C-alpha cells in the first residue's frame, strides 16, 4: 500500500530511533552494532512486522551513497604517518588478498555445486561471482567492538586492518562487475579483464588524488561567510568525485577513499567541523543502509541455503581468508609477527558491503542471483555474530591487546589546526609536588601554558599563586613541535 508522507516519516524515524536505542546492547554484550541495525530491518520486514520492501535497485543506490560517505570519512581518519609502516602490506591485502580469497572460495563453491543432491547450481563463473561479492572485509565493526571493550591493538594492527578495510572494497566491486559482465556475455576475456583492472585502478587512484587536492584547494580558497556550509561543500565534493571518476571509467569507490585521505592529511578549513559532520552522516547512512538491507531480505527464504551458506562461511573463515593472508604476508615475514598474521586472518569480518555487492547480480538478472543474495546475507550474519563477538577474546589470547589510552581532554574541545598547538592534560601528583604546589614552582617548559585546573567537579582559571592539590588535572595548551 502507498504511505502518506507523514506515515512514511513516522516509520523511518521509528526504525532509526529503535536502531539507536538497541545499539546500547553492543556496548554491554560486545555484539557488533551494525548487526543489530540489520536485525531491526529484518524484524520490521515481511516476516516480522509486515513492512513489504522489495526495491533492490533503490537499496543498491542507498548502499552506493552510504559507501561514498563511509569511505571518504574513513579516508579522512586515516593518518599517512600511521599507515606508512604498513602501506605495502595493506595494499597487498586489499588487492592480491581479495583476488586470492575470491579464487579459493570460488573453487570451493564450484566443488560444492558439483556434489550429488547439492542445492547449489553454479557454473565456475557463477561460483566466482558469489565469492567476489563477499571477498572484502568490514573492520569498522571490529574497532567498534574493540573500543566498546576499551582495547587497543599492538604492532600497527589497527592501521593495517583499517587501511585494508577501507581500500579493499574497490577490488571486490571491480571483480563483481567484471564477473557479472562475463556471465551476461558468456565469455571471460583475460586480456580485457586485466586492461579493465588497470584502467579502473589508475583512473580511480590518480583521479581521487588529484580531485582530493582540488577539493582541499577550493575549500581553503572559497572563504564562505556561513561556516556551516563547509561540511556540505565536502559532502557535495564526495559525490562529485565519485561520479566524475565513474564517468571516466575509473573506480569511484577507490577515488573517494583516496580523496578522503588527501583531505584528512592536509590543512583544511573547518576540518574538525567537517569531520564531525561526516562522522554523524556515516552513522546515519550505516543505520539506513543496514535497516534497508534487513527489510530487503525474506528470512524464510534463507532456510533453503542455510546448510550450504554455513559450509561456505566456514571455508571462508577457516581456509579462504587465512590462506590468502598467509600468502600475502610471505614477502613481509620480517616485518610482521606470526600472532599478527593469525589475528589478521581471524578479523575478516563481512558487513554491509558484501550484501550491497550481492544486489548487483539481482539487478543485472544473472542466473541464481537470488540464491547469491541469500547466501551472502546469511554468511554476513554469521560472520558478524560469531567472528565479531570473538574478536576481543582472540586479541587477548594472542596477547595483541592493551588498554585503550583515552584521548582528548576534560574540556571536550579541540584547537583549530591553524594554531599549530594542542591541548593535553597532566595530573598533579606527589612527584610533581616535590618542586612545590604552585604553578610558579612547577616551571613548565617554554611554549606550555596551563589553561584550566580541574579539581573534582570544579574548574578554575589559574594564576601563578594558585595552590594545587594532589589529583588536580592541569589542562595545558602547548606548541605542536612535530612539524619543527
Cα–Cα dist 100/135, whole Å = 9
314-354 tens-digit pLDDT: 999 889 999 999 999 988 888 888 888 888 888 877 777 88
Give the largest Cα separation in the chain, rounded: 86
- Find the range with the poorest average confidence among 211-215, 254-258, 260-264, 471-475: 471-475
CB-based contact 230:416 (threshold 8 Å): no
pLDDT value at position 233?
92
Cα–Cα dist 30/389, whole Å = 6
- Per the rule left: phi > 0, alpha: psi between -120 and 50, beta: everything else, 350 is beta
Query: Residue 249's closest CA among 178, 167, 355?
Result: 178
pLDDT band at 484 (very low <50, low <70, confident <90, very high): very low
Cα–Cα dist 129/114, whole Å = 16
Q: For residue 483, is pLDDT > 50?
A: no
> Which percentage of the chain shows pLDDT scores above 90?
16
pLDDT value at position 238?
94
Q: Where are the beta strands (DSSP E) in 190-319?
A: none
Q: For residue 310, is pLDDT > 80?
A: yes
CB-based contact 204:230 (threshold 8 Å): no
Rg of the chain in Å (alpha carbons): 25
pTM over 0.85: no
pLDDT value at position 434?
74
For residues 14-31, give the mean pLDDT. 70
Q: Share the mean pLDDT of the chain.
A: 81
Q: Whose grid coordinates read 537470488?
A: 370
By CB atoms closer than 10 A (0-12, 13-18, 19+), residue 214 is middle
Distances (CA, A) of 457 to 68, 121, 411, 438: 42, 66, 12, 20
Q: Would the CA dihedral through 244, 249, 252, 258 be positive or negative? A: negative
Residue 454 in 3-state DSSP?
strand
pLDDT value at position 1?
47
pLDDT value at position 109?
93
117-132 tens-digit pLDDT: 888 888 898 899 999 9
389-447 tens-digit pLDDT: 777 788 888 888 776 555 555 555 666 666 666 777 777 777 777 777 777 777 766 76
Amino acid at each position: 500500500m502507498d504511505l502518506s508522507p507523514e506515515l512514511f516519516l513516522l516509520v523511518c524515524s521509528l526504525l532509526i530511533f529503535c536502531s539507536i536505542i538497541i545499539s546500547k546492547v553492543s556496548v554491554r554484550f560486545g555484539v557488533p552494532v551494525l548487526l543489530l541495525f540489520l536485525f531491526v530491518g529484518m524484524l520490521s520486514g515481511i516476516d516480522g512486522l509486515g513492512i513489504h520492501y522489495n526495491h533492490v535497485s533503490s537499496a543498491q543506490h542507498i548502499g552506493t551513497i552510504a559507501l561514498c560517505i563511509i569511505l571518504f570519512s574513513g579516508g579522512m581518519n586515516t593518518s599517512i604517518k600511521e599507515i606508512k609502516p604498513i602501506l605495502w602490506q595493506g595494499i597487498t591485502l586489499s588487492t592480491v588478498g581479495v583476488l586470492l580469497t575470491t579464487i579459493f572460495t570460488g573453487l570451493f563453491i564450484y566443488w560444492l555445486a558439483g556434489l550429488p543432491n547439492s542445492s547449489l547450481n553454479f557454473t565456475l563463473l557463477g561460483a566466482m561471482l558469489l565469492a567476489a561479492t563477499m571477498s572484502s572485509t568490514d573492520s569498522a565493526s571490529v574497532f567498534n567492538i574493540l573500543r566498546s571493550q576499551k582495547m587497543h591493538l599492538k604492532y600497527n594492527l589497527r592501521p593495517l586492518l583499517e587501511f585494508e578495510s577501507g581500500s579493499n572494497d574497490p577490488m571486490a566491486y571491480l571483480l563483481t562487475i567484471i564477473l557479472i559482465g562475463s556471465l551476461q556475455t558468456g565469455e571471460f576475456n583475460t586480456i580485457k579483464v586485466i586492461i579493465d583492472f588497470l584502467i579502473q585502478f589508475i583512473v580511480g587512484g590518480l583521479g581521487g588524488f588529484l580531485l582530493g587536492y582540488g577539493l582541499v584547494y577550493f575549500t581553503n580558497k572559497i572563504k564562505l561567510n556561513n561556516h556551516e556550509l563547509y561540511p556540505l561543500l565536502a559532502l557535495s565534493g564526495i559525490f562529485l568525485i565519485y561520479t566524475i571518476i565513474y564517468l571516466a571509467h575509473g573506480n569511484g569507490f577507490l577515488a573517494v577513499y583516496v580523496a578522503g585521505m588527501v583531505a584528512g592529511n592536509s590543512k583544511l578549513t573547518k576540518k574538525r567541523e567537517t569531520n564531525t559532520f561526516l562522522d554523524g552522516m556515516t552513522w546515519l547512512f550505516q543505520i539506513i543502509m543496514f535497516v534497508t538491507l534487513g527489510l530487503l531480505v525474506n528470512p524464510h527464504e534463507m532456510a533453503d541455503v542455510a546448510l550450504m551458506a554455513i559450509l561456505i562461511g566456514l571455508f571462508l573463515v577457516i581456509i579462504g581468508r587465512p590462506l590468502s593472508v598467509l600468502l600475502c604476508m610471505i614477502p613481509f615475514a620480517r616485518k610482521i609477527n606470526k600472532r599478527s598474521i593469525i589475528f589478521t586472518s581471524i578479523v575478516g569480518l563481512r558487513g554491509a558491503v558484501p550484501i550491497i555487492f550481492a544486489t548487483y547480480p539481482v539487478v543485472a538478472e544473472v542466473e541464481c542471483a537470488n540464491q547469491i543474495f541469500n547466501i551472502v546475507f546469511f554468511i554476513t550474519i554469521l560472520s558478524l555474530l560469531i567472528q565479531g563477538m570473538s574478536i576481543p577474546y582472540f586479541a587477548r589470547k594472542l596477547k595483541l591487546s592493551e588498554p585503550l589510552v583515552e584521548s582528548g581532554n576534560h574540556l571536550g574541545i579541540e584547537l583549530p589546526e591553524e594554531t599549530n598547538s594542542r591541548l593535553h592534560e597532566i595530573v598533579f601528583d606527589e612527584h610533581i609536588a616535590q618542586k612545590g604546589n604552585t604553578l610558579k614552582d612547577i616551571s613548565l617548559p617554554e611554549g606550555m601554558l596551563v589553561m584550566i585546573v580541574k579539581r573534582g567537579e570544579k574548574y578554575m582559571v589559574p594564576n601563578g599563586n594558585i595552590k594545587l592539590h594532589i589529583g588536580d588535572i592541569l589542562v595545558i595548551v602547548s606548541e605542536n613541535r612535530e612539524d619543527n
